């Protein structure tokens, strides 16, 4: 039975967290203390320094040689069960996009910020070690796997839009330029393909700004590249429309055929940045409004037997056309939306009614009910290599990757040979980690205040998301925990941690890749408000 003193202890742990969030919300919404640009700077500090240092602090102090195997097994089993169930459903229905979203909503709670203080107040100090173990698994395994799914989705969208039908099956190699960090479509990309005599296609992926000839942009247009006057503090709400990408073709046809490579340019117009408040949580480069990019390069979709102009010495200077010895296909992903006539509407292509723009929030169904059911893909090894390269580059730019790995390595060394961290280093880390928890909640309050609506995805979808997050998740976790033999307080802790609000990282991924960001945003914002009474209800019921 939960006593009044136990309940008060839990409230003493939770109220300060929500107080920090409320102060931040009021600072923007009511008192107008912070501007959106200043909020972006605060969020950037939290994402790059406060939360990674806080994560390192907890992980480095946890003994990895005394991990609770049953607790870890129960958490892993519950996530694997959800993943297998959703995978079967996605194969049968073709809704791979929804599989990613539902997996994020049902299995990835905010364990670091909310779980550690809440469970410690409810069930004692030993639960801090349990939560840290889950944080390690989330950061190193589950977030990496989630990133793998998003990059796979980005790769398949690129392939379907540029190599429809059976063409993609001939791709044997992808070469990715070093400045291409992800296939999330946040920055325009260019693909160049060459087919050898055996029909094998080699594809090169690079940033589209480097695909246009320098002379075309500098000499012909008289433009000199200049630095952007926008800072990386530029910030918009999550409801800022994602830029729609258009595919312009010289011959007006998406299908591969004969045509000449041509360059065209839109009229210069102001750009809207795709940078959102969630971007402060990632290390993606901030969009820059440079005049070097104010003209969008438009290329033909394909050139089969592209004519080469050469000067014949026997023809007194006349120019003749000869077929190129290779087949070259050039695709330039669209630039930012210019707000011109016809923009903001879905663009059709040869694959059907789906908007297959590389950077969009539309759902592309693949499978028995999807429009792209006849689409073929490259060899599994080729796809795996492409996705692993992209995932690796994303992880190398994420400070949480370094904090988790370094914290785990330090804990393995220090607890193996029984020596502590030097005081100079320890207190330098502690001074930032002590502020990490409060700053993380303060940052969430800023994020809430910047959104035009707390429920961004609609009431019905929000209700479904809350049921999945706070009912289905704990039920599956309880079944997995009982199956592996968890009992008593550890079983209660496992159930309550499954009822924590939505994690921040899945929302950041959803916003970056344009996949249901409104649902994940509602899960973060509205879930924070709902989680307090829900977790207290679980705590009281389990204590009866």
Q: For position 168, what pLDDT does the model report? A: 87
Average pLDDT over residues 234-242: 37
pLDDT score of 196 more than 70: yes
pLDDT in tens, 250-297: 333 333 333 333 333 333 333 333 334 444 444 444 444 444 343 333
Residue pair 134/498 in contact (Cβ under 8 Å)? The answer is no
Q: For position 1, what pLDDT does the model report? A: 67
Please provide the CATH number assigned to the domain covering 4-149+398-543.
1.20.1530
Average pLDDT over residues 134-138: 93
Q: From CA 240, how far away is CA 255, in angstroms rounded? A: 32
User: Are β-strands 327-332 and 189-195 bridged in parallel, bridged antiparallel, or unpaired?
Assistant: antiparallel
Its pTM surpasses 0.85: no
Q: Lowest-confidence range among 74-88, 156-170, 347-361, 523-537?
A: 347-361
Mean pLDDT taken over the chain: 76
pLDDT score of 37 more than 90: yes
Q: From CA 262, how far away is CA 325, in angstroms rounded? A: 19
Query: 3-state class of 145 per DSSP?
Result: helix
pLDDT score of 377 more than 70: yes
pLDDT score of 216 more than 70: no
CA 337 to chain centre: 21
Which residue in 39, 510, 44 sits closest to 280, CA to CA? Answer: 44
Q: Give 358's contacts (C-beta < 8 A, 6+ positions apart).
A: 154, 157, 158, 161, 185, 189, 245, 333, 334
pLDDT score of 218 more than 50: no
Q: From CA 296, how far away is CA 246, in angstroms rounded? A: 10
């Amino acid at each position: 039975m939960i006593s009044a003193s136990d309940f008060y202890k839990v409230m003493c742990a939770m109220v300060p967290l929500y107080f920090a969030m409320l102060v931040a919300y009021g600072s923007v919404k009511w008192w107008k203390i912070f501007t959106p640009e200043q909020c972006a700077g605060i969020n950037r500090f939290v994402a790059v320094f406060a939360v990674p240092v806080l994560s390192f602090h907890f992980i480095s102090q946890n003994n990895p040689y005394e991990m609770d195997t049953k607790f870890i097994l129960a958490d892993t089993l519950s996530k694997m069960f959800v993943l297998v169930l959703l995978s079967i459903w996605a194969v049968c229905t073709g809704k791979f996009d929804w599989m990613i979203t539902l997996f994020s909503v049902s299995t990835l709670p905010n364990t670091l910020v909310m779980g550690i203080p809440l469970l410690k107040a409810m069930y004692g100090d030993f639960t801090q070690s349990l939560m840290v173990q889950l944080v390690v698994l989330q950061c190193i395994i589950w977030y990496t796997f989630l990133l793998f799914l998003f990059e796979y989705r980005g790769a398949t969208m690129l392939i379907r839009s540029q190599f429809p039908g059976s063409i993609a099956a001939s791709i044997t190699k992808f070469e990715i330029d070093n400045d291409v960090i992800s296939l999330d479509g946040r920055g325009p990309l260019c693909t160049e393909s060459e087919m050898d005599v055996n029909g094998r296609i080699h594809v090169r992926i690079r940033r589209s700004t480097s695909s246009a000839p320098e002379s075309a942009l500098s000499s012909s247009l008289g433009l000199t590249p200049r630095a952007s006057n926008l800072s990386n503090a530029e910030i918009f709400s999550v409801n800022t429309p994602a830029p729609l990408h258009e595919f312009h073709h010289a011959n007006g046809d998406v299908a591969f055929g004969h045509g000449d490579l041509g360059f065209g340019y839109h009229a210069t117009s102001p750009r809207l940045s795709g940078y959102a408040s969630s971007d402060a949580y990632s290390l993606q480069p901030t969009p820059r409004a440079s005049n070097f990019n104010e003209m969008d390069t438009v290329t033909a979709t394909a050139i089969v037997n592209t004519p080469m102009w050469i000067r014949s010495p026997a023809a007194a200077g006349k120019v003749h056309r000869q077929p190129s010895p290779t087949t070259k296909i050039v695709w330039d992903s669209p630039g930012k939306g210019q707000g011109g006539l016809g923009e903001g509407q879905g663009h059709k292509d040869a694959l059907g009614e789906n908007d297959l723009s590389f950077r969009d929030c539309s759902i592309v169904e693949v499978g028995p009910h999807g429009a792209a059911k006849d689409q073929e893909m490259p060899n599994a090894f080729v796809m795996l290599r492409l996705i692993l390269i992209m995932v690796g580059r994303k992880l190398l730019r994420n400070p949480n990757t370094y904090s988790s790995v370094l914290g785990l390595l330090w804990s393995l060394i220090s607890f193996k040979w029984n020596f502590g961290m030097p005081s100079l280093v320890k207190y330098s880390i502690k001074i930032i980690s002590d502020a990490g928890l409060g700053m993380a909640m303060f940052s969430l309050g800023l994020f809430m205040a910047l959104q035009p609506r707390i429920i961004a995805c609609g009431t019905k979808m929000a209700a479904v998301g809350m049921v999945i997050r706070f009912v289905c998740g704990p039920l599956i976790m309880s079944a997995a925990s009982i199956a592996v033999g968890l009992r008593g307080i550890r079983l209660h802790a496992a159930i309550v941690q499954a009822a924590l609000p939505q994690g921040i990282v899945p929302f950041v991924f959803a916003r970056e890749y344009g996949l249901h960001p409104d649902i994940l945003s509602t899960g973060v914002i509205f879930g924070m408000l709902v989680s307090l009474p829900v977790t207290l209800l679980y705590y009281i019921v389990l204590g009866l």
